[in-house]
Each structure stands twice: as structure tokens, then as C-alpha cells.
Structure 1
Amino acid sequence: MEEAIRVEARDGWRRLTLNRPDRMNALDEPAIEALLAALADAGADASCRALLITGAGRGFCAGADLSMVIPGTDLGELIDRAWNPLARALQALPMPTVCAVNGVAAGAGASLALGCDIVLAARSASFIQAFARIGLVPDCGGTHHLPRLIGEARARAVTLLADPIQAGQAEAWGLIWRAVDDAMLMEQAEALTARLAAGPTQAYRLARHAIAAAAGNTLDRQLEVERDAQRRAGATPDFVEGVRAFREKRPPRFTGRPA
């Protein structure tokens, strides 16, 4: 029996593939546990400086396997046990994340994709907040990501109407970074991940955290966040290398090491 999450190590980065194609990569609790373990393992590996997440088969992720969502049970307890840890683990990773959405991303599957730093989608792919179709509300960070990415008006509409958003529309709205031709998706996603893996990992981490904090901060508070982040970035070997490379008119050779 194949593993629910397939992990492939590359040069400086890893590719995680949701691997339940017969279920459109819908996640049950064992699959979520396997994904959490894969994220933790990548985060603990100093040689892993970027992460690519995608799905096997014709879909990215159909969200929760409905065997998990049983009427009459405490769904809040399920959220605390499974989906909230997944959303937090993704945000806490010390390296940038890329998501290659190769097909439908529905429900928590859409939330999982939007929790990544950079999202590429095949033009045939779509995003759908399908929760209202079964009388539920978005989870796995969906209500956090949507209004920040596309504004409250669109977030309310896509949540309440539960209509699919095609990849091209998602790009136009700013829900994702880019829609690409289906045949080019993995090539572009892998090239982007490799590029990030060769970059200044600590600066990326600090910038990601600063951007995430911005929505809840005043300008004065955000200026303090930027100051503190810049102080830490300026103490890293990659800053020294970046300046040296600029002066020597050559590409920098970043290591991603902390100060």
C-alpha cells in the first residue's frame, strides 16, 4: 500500500505529494498525521531550504475525507486534533513553501494551498470553498487567508455561494500568484522551489513572518517588526555574502545559515 504522503528529497528542497488519487487526495486523519510528520521532518532538516506541495492524479486535494465528518460528533474537537495543527505547522515552517495546484482544491484542500507562500495553479485547476454545500464553515485557516488575499466582499461571496473559482480568475483576484499552462505546472513549480532553496533562507523566514503580522498591526508597530527583522537579517552570513557578491558583480552563494 502506497503512503498517503509521498516525500521526495531534491537538492536543497523537498517535494511532498498528497497521494490518495483514488479519493482526489482527500485527507483522513492518518493522512493528516503523515503530512504533519513530513512537515516536521522537513522543518528539522537544515539542508531543506524550500518545500513544494502538490497532489497526485487529477486533483490537488478535495479537502476532508467525509469519513471524518460524521453528523452528531463534535467537529470542533476534530478541528483541534487535525486541521488546526496542520494550518499552524505550515505557517511555522522555517523555509518558504510553494504549492502546485494540479486540479481541484476544495474545502480544506483550498485552505491548505492558500496557506503556502507562493501558489501556482494549472489553468484547468479550480478552487472551491465547498463547506456551505454540506452546512459547514471554512476551516484549516480558510477564513484567515481568504479576506487577506481577496478582501472581505469576495471572501463572503465565495464562502456563502460555494461556487468554483477557475485558476485564471484566482490569479486575477490575487488569490494565487500565477496560473500556468497545465503541461508547464510542475516544471515551473520545481524551478521556483529550487530558486527559493538557493536563496537567503533566514531573510525569507523573517520577511514571511513580518508580512503575516502586518494585517493586525498599526504602522508604528509594523515599523518595529521591520526593524527587528532587519536587525536579525543583517547579522546573518547571507547578508555579508549578498553585499560581497553585489560589489564583486557575481551571483551570491547563499547558505541559509542563521547568525
Structure 2
Amino acid sequence: MATRTAVTLSVEERVAWITLVDVGRRNSTNEVLVEQLTQACAAVRADRGVHAVVLRAEGPVFSAGGDLDSLGTRPADPTAVYRGFAALAALPVPTLAAVHGPTIGAGVNFILPCDVVVAGRSATFDPRFLDLAIHPGGGHLWRLEQRLGRQGAAALILFGESISAAEAQRCGLIWKCVADDDLLEVVSAMAARAAGRPRELVRRTKSVLSLSRALTEPAMAASLEQVAQDWSVRQPDHAEAVRRVRDGVRRVR
């Protein structure tokens, strides 16, 4: 029997669209979806024509989290369910999540590895791990605290708070809350801006941004950035960008 399609991948104008389409299973973190998400991320990494990635979902639920068919049983490899999230986190180009509807339990792990999250007003975020008497996994607590701080992570996980898209924007879990009808338009415009910039410069900037998390001294961060900046000003893209700006100033005059 053929494996169902749980994830699709398309590339348009240097933007890769990874779409969760396992609607019948409410885009749960089941084995088929996780494997196809991992494969999609591998394809993106191999395609030098991709400059940015958008993660989105079909159906009324962005993700219902853990797969009900597998909950309650001990898998042979308990880390396998998190491979798709790790693959998202490892993508070297900018990643953007476009979220609508409920995002529940382990489904929140889909958005946490993404660089930026934009949500429609229908979106809600409810980790709900402890309600099922299961400890969060896959780096969920670490990534959540990176976004919300310790108090925010504790509120959602320990105290069982769930939040709307508007509340998620206020506390920093997402970047922007927009009308559902505007979601894809807003995300497309943001992805196009990222994709329109020099690919290697954007990749390196994202890498430095990630490395900076581990630094504790401003001087260390400045040194790391200086190496990258020195590299960037020697690239042809820099000279071309300066030329465009100068031409624009001359035309204004």
C-alpha cells in the first residue's frame, strides 16, 4: 500500500514552501509526517536555489501534536518523532512559519525552530504536555524559554496556560498577528524580502545569530561579527549594492 502524502514541498521564486497536508490526522507528529518533513528539509538543504523557507499547514488545525495512535506506547526510538523539528532547526536559510488554527502539544515544536512566526488571529498555542502526564521533549523547554523567558515558559508548561495569537505576539512567542485572510500575503512578502538578498550573506548572518546565543560577553560577539563583516565587504554583492544606492541618490538629486 502506498504511503500517504503528509508533507509537500514546492519552490517558487527562491522560496521553498513546506506544507503539512496530513489533514486526516490533524497534522499530528506521526511517523509518516515526521519522516516526510525530514526529507523535505534535506531537499531544501541540497537546493542552492532556495533562499528562504515557509512552513505552513492545511486543514483547520495547524497541528494537534502527538499522534493518538502512538501515545501510550513506548517507541523503539523515542527521539525519532523529533527528527523533523531538528531538520527544520538545522536549515541554513531563513525559516518562517505561517500558523493558523490550534497548535497543540508537540505541535508547538513545529514553530519553535523557525526564525520567525507569523500567525492568523485564529491561531492558539497550547503545549498541554503535562495534561497527558508526559514531559516535553525535543528541546521544547529550551526553545520556549528562548522565546518567552523563564516565566513565560513556566506559565505555558507548568501552569497549563494557553494563549491566543494576539497574546502570543505580546509575549514574543510569535512576531506578528494578522487577519487570517492576510496571512499568506504577509508571509509571502516577508519571505520574498529574505529570498531577494545575497544567499551566502544571509546564511552567514543566520549562522552568526545562532552562534551568538552561546556567547556571554559583548566583546566576543563583536569579534565574531567583525570576521563576518570583513568577509561581506569583500564580496561582489557589497560593491553592487553600494553602486545601486549611489545611483539612486544621484537620481534623487
Q: Give the TM-score normalised by structure 1.
A: 0.88
| CA–CA separation in structure 1 for the residues paired with 2:75 and 2:39 | 25
Matched, 1:29 2:27: no
Three-state SS of the structure 2 residue aligned to 1:63 is coil
Three-state SS of the structure 2 residue aligned to 1:67 is coil
Q: How many residues align?
A: 246
In the other structure, the counterpart of 2:200 is: 202
In the other structure, the counterpart of 1:213 is: 211
* Structure 1 unaligned residues grouped into runs of 5+: 251-259
1:40-92 Cα distance to aligned partner (Å, 9 max, x none): 10111011111111110111112221323334x268x312x330x33332222
Three-state SS of the structure 1 residue aligned to 2:111 is helix
| CA–CA separation in structure 2 for the residues paired with 1:163 and 1:202 | 40
In the other structure, the counterpart of 1:232 is: 231
In the other structure, the counterpart of 1:44 is: 46
Three-state SS of the structure 2 residue aligned to 1:120 is strand
Q: Name the CA shift for 1:232/1:30 in 2 (closer, same or farther; >3 Å).
A: farther
In the other structure, the counterpart of 1:246 is: 245
In the other structure, the counterpart of 2:11 is: 9
> How big is the shift at 1:201?
2.3
> How big is the shift at 1:195?
2.0
| Structure 1 range deviating more: 107-116 or 222-231 | 222-231
- The 5 A counterparts of 1:1-259 are 3-71=5-73, 73=74, 77-79=77-79, 81-83=80-82, 85-219=83-217, 220-249=219-248
Which stretches of structure 1, 4 residues or more, deviate above 4 A after TM superposition? none
* Structure 2 unaligned residues grouped into runs of 5+: none
Amino acid at match of 1:243: V
Amino acid at match of 2:109: S
Percent identity (aligned)? 31
Three-state SS of the structure 2 residue aligned to 1:119 is strand
| Structure 1 range deviating more: 201-210 or 21-30 | 201-210
Q: Name the CA shift for 1:65/1:235 in 2 (closer, same or farther; >3 Å).
A: farther
CA contact (8 A) 2:27 2:33 kept: no
Q: Name the CA shift for 1:141/1:112 in 2 (closer, same or farther; >3 Å).
A: farther
> How big is the shift at 1:145?
1.6
| CA–CA separation in structure 2 for the residues paired with 1:148 and 1:230 | 26
Cα RMSD (Å) of the superposition?
Answer: 1.9
Amino acid at match of 1:125: A
Larger radius of gyration: 2
CA contact (8 A) 2:93 2:206 kept: no
| CA–CA separation in structure 1 for the residues paired with 2:205 and 2:143 | 17
